[in-house]
Structure 1
């Protein structure tokens, strides 16, 4: 009897496992993938057709399978931009600023630079004798640095302790100076402890020269001056544009469009068929018909003929929030856009999918299931040591077929329809429990064997 019970439990577990494992057949769309480059991670840029074929707006129903139908670990990347930053530390030359006394706000000096802009001489314009001059500050030569300045690092004579407060000014011609705020460094000693602060933040701008002027006190003797610069580049993921979408005319000067799914729309293009069209417009959007319209953008659309050529402005920029419906109001004093609603194209930022290839190719992208839950991992989990250089070196995956979209499908909530897989799992579970209960009951009712 114990053997029968074990077999029954094993059968229930096997059935549950078979029901619970996702397969490509659970998804309405499957597209083969072609991979190239270095694995085992591959990056796939999802075209807009994938987002429109998905049954869930957040792409929770996207999967990748190998040749054996096994799901692959993956991550979705929707960052608006890939930002890189290169920091450089440069030792710069410094030149003293002398004044007749410590009360002079800005020392009068004569500064000379080469044709290339390198500072070569700073002479006091004061008539005071050299022994009577007070060191009031320093001029730093940053002419060799072309990137924005992020930080100033100073070191000075160890005999001079305490707080050092000074103003910071910037110039490109040694004649006109712009205030960059105040700085403070310090070297403090207490008993056998020493606290030192050498760094000062800068506003992240480009300049050729910096002037540091100590207020109400003499400046310390510098022993080192360094500037930290940072050049950053932001490479947005490309925009992907939709096919023309037909709209509906609500009333005079008012049109609406229903998007296939909720999307983070960043740009719109309104078709202007007629030459010499001029239309001040206001755009609003919302997630569904139960919400109030929220303003998104406004602007002037036009298609004007000048010197025999069309000059066209037909785009509107949006904040990138999720919308499902759009409404355009046109100020018809400019002539309007006609009786029929103009066609509309929308653009969203590309989405990237990165997956870890396991098992044998070919790999398949599957989507189109309104009931499955999200299975994507954070990118940092999928690639534990993935720095910027590692991400750039990932292998590439591309679609080896077309994504067929018969008609736009609005995202369906998992609770909206009947989940037959879940019902099947419960049925198998209940049947298994009933079988186990019947066997246990029969075992209890069996009379004990007579010895």
Structure 2
């Protein structure tokens, strides 16, 4: 009895302690990756690829850890890219000169312009006919004053509808030209509004002259503005970490017309979305929403007019949608269906983000591994300044190797999906043990009660037998007395045996 009670008490106590202990598997991770680098440095840094975000169970990458060969965690910092601070850009009108097709091998100033002593350009003849016009020469030195960079050109097209490609070249002397990029310009009137792509990105190029080659026919240009970034502004954005993309995400149709749902498959800090429309010559306004989970409310993160227009060999689509970094996994696109929506076909999505950089101290022996994927883990990252502590050494670039098998990965993934499942199982186990123990106690009590009841029943039966025996003896004595006297037989009962015996004795004497 006492042993059963002791076992039950220990079961309940252990289950209570286990359930009240948070994060029992903080050192178990769903995925591990090898860190590859050349030894000899104190600090190493690695840009986190998409696989790390996909395995992470936290939106802030708080479950990332770095372990050395002995399985010891080492200090690390986690730095997310920041938007570069930059001075406000200004638009300045640029001087441009329509030119006819240049003769092959020609050098010096193009036909129709001359170079002044200060390097500025002046027109020397009337612009060519539109049929012969395929090039525009832009004098940007005057607008930039030699101390600024041109981020973009904004081309204002007078045509109501235009769609075409343009290539850009730059030069400082009108003789040597270098490629400066390509772009597609668009101007389309739609449903009382105008869709336009009028920017040619140049990414802060510094040059005196720019040349535009119109590959699909020159538009009627009304004006050209140069977007100038002041000298000395922070250009960190241009040297920023390259954006990662996860393409091929299929959006499934929702219960309502014009609704599409998709899951990014990880806690990516998405700040760009490319929505690839299924059919060409499609134009439709749309809004994009995201949420953290099934119980959360949808919130709008971006909106734009989506389009995919095909014109001969030229096809243009709306630029990527921009938004603040968003780690939500569930997304919804709502398209205006008043003009047919997106039509038939599958909407596919590409999600882009700027990955974080992890810097760690190479403490201990190799091999070093990066672990990720634990819903119960809490971030232990320190700031980069605290990690480096003013050290003169520079962090050497490391590489993330192949994923490694983790013997506890499956358990970690199941706990990540339902972190309270194991606790529920333990509670049910403790409850069953307690019920079983109580049943055993009841059975022991019932079993012990049976011998006591039997003993009491036997005592009662024995007493009754003794009483019967005494009565029989008294009856026999009475019979002997009756026989001796030769009288008639007398029937004697047990309760009257004493009386009958006395009477018999009296009769005999007479």
**TM-score, normalisation: structure 2:** 0.45
Q: What secondary structure does 1:245 align onto?
A: strand
Query: Judging changes above 3 Å, is the alpha-carbon distance between structure 1 residues 321 and 23 closer, same or farther for their aligned structure 2 residues?
Result: closer
Which 5+ residue runs of structure 1 have no aligned equivalent? 1-18, 86-113, 118-142, 149-228, 424-451
Displacement, 1:363?
1.1
- Bigger helix fraction: 2
Query: Judging changes above 3 Å, is the alpha-carbon distance between structure 1 residues 57 and 25 closer, same or farther for their aligned structure 2 residues?
Result: same
Tell me what 1:245 maps to. Answer: 249
Tell me what 1:399 maps to. Answer: 400
Displacement, 1:395?
0.2
The count of aligned residue pairs is 265
Contact 2:63–2:372 (CA under 8 A) maintained in structure 1: yes
Q: What secondary structure does 2:265 align onto?
A: strand
Displacement, 1:411?
10
Displacement, 1:354?
0.4
Q: Does 1:268 align with 2:273?
A: yes
Displacement, 1:417?
4.7
| Distance of 1:410 and 1:59 partners within structure 2 | 19
Q: What secondary structure does 1:347 align onto?
A: strand
**TM-score, normalisation: structure 1:** 0.50
Query: Judging changes above 3 Å, is the alpha-carbon distance between structure 1 residues 246 and 411 closer, same or farther for their aligned structure 2 residues?
Result: farther
Q: What secondary structure does 1:51 align onto?
A: helix
Which 5+ residue runs of structure 2 have no aligned equivalent? 1-20, 88-116, 121-143, 150-230, 428-510
Find runs of 4+ consecutive structure 1 residues off by over 6 angstroms: 22-25, 82-85, 403-406
Query: Judging changes above 3 Å, is the alpha-carbon distance between structure 1 residues 64 and 385 closer, same or farther for their aligned structure 2 residues?
Result: same
| Distance of 2:340 and 2:259 partners within structure 1 | 13
Q: In structure 1, which of residues 346, 350, 372 is the aligned counterpart of residue 351 of structure 2?
A: 346
Query: Judging changes above 3 Å, is the alpha-carbon distance between structure 1 residues 69 and 411 closer, same or farther for their aligned structure 2 residues?
Result: closer
| Distance of 1:360 and 1:397 partners within structure 2 | 16
Query: Judging changes above 3 Å, is the alpha-carbon distance between structure 1 residues 419 and 72 closer, same or farther for their aligned structure 2 residues?
Result: farther
Tell me what 2:176 maps to. Answer: none
Displacement, 1:308?
2.2
Query: Judging changes above 3 Å, is the alpha-carbon distance between structure 1 residues 46 and 262 closer, same or farther for their aligned structure 2 residues?
Result: closer
Q: Does 1:42 align with 2:44?
A: yes
Q: In structure 2, which of residues 291, 304, 310 is the aligned counterpart of residue 299 of structure 1?
A: 304
Give per-residue Cα distances to partners, 1:211-269, cap 9 Å, x unaligned: xxxxxxxxxxxxxxxxxx84422233222111422333121111122333444210111
Displacement, 1:362?
1.8
Give per-residue Cα distances to partners, 1:43-101, cap 9 Å, x unaligned: 1000011111112222111111112212111010013246799xxxxxxxxxxxxxxxx
Tell me what 1:33 maps to. Answer: 35
| Distance of 2:404 and 2:247 partners within structure 1 | 14
Q: In structure 2, which of residues 317, 325, 328 is the aligned counterpart of residue 323 of structure 1?
A: 328
Contact 1:41–1:356 (CA under 8 A) maintained in structure 2: yes
Query: Judging changes above 3 Å, is the alpha-carbon distance between structure 1 residues 419 and 31 closer, same or farther for their aligned structure 2 residues?
Result: farther
Contact 1:255–1:341 (CA under 8 A) maintained in structure 2: no
| Distance of 1:145 and 1:309 partners within structure 2 | 36
Contact 2:268–2:353 (CA under 8 A) maintained in structure 1: yes
Displacement, 1:323?
2.2
Tell me what 1:378 maps to. Answer: 383
Tell me what 2:109 maps to. Answer: none
Give per-residue Cα distances to partners, 1:150-204, cap 9 Å, x unaligned: xxxxxxxxxxxxxxxxxxxxxxxxxxxxxxxxxxxxxxxxxxxxxxxxxxxxxxx
Tell me what 1:53 maps to. Answer: 55
Question: Considering only aligned residues, what root-mean-square deviation do their CA atoms show, in Å?
Answer: 4.1
| Distance of 1:272 and 1:60 partners within structure 2 | 36
Displacement, 1:343?
2.1
Contact 1:271–1:343 (CA under 8 A) maintained in structure 2: yes
| Distance of 2:243 and 2:355 partners within structure 1 | 6
Matches within 5 A, 1:79-94: 79-81=81-83
| Distance of 1:285 and 1:410 partners within structure 2 | 25
Displacement, 1:338?
3.3
Greater RCO structure (CA 8 Å; 6+ sep)? 1
Tell me what 1:357 maps to. Answer: 362
- Bigger strand fraction: 1
Matches within 5 A, 1:21-420: 26-36=28-38, 39-81=41-83, 146=147, 230-235=232-237, 236-250=240-254, 251-313=256-318, 315-339=320-344, 342-385=347-390, 393-402=394-403, 412=416, 416-418=420-422
Displacement, 1:328?
0.9
| Distance of 1:340 and 1:416 partners within structure 2 | 41
Contact 2:31–2:403 (CA under 8 A) maintained in structure 1: no
Contact 1:43–1:397 (CA under 8 A) maintained in structure 2: yes
Query: Judging changes above 3 Å, is the alpha-carbon distance between structure 1 residues 29 and 398 closer, same or farther for their aligned structure 2 residues?
Result: same
Contact 2:53–2:267 (CA under 8 A) maintained in structure 1: no
Contact 2:55–2:266 (CA under 8 A) maintained in structure 1: no
Query: Judging changes above 3 Å, is the alpha-carbon distance between structure 1 residues 39 and 273 closer, same or farther for their aligned structure 2 residues?
Result: same
| Distance of 2:397 and 2:70 partners within structure 1 | 21
| Distance of 1:24 and 1:312 partners within structure 2 | 46
Tell me what 1:155 maps to. Answer: none
Query: Judging changes above 3 Å, is the alpha-carbon distance between structure 1 residues 83 and 359 closer, same or farther for their aligned structure 2 residues?
Result: farther
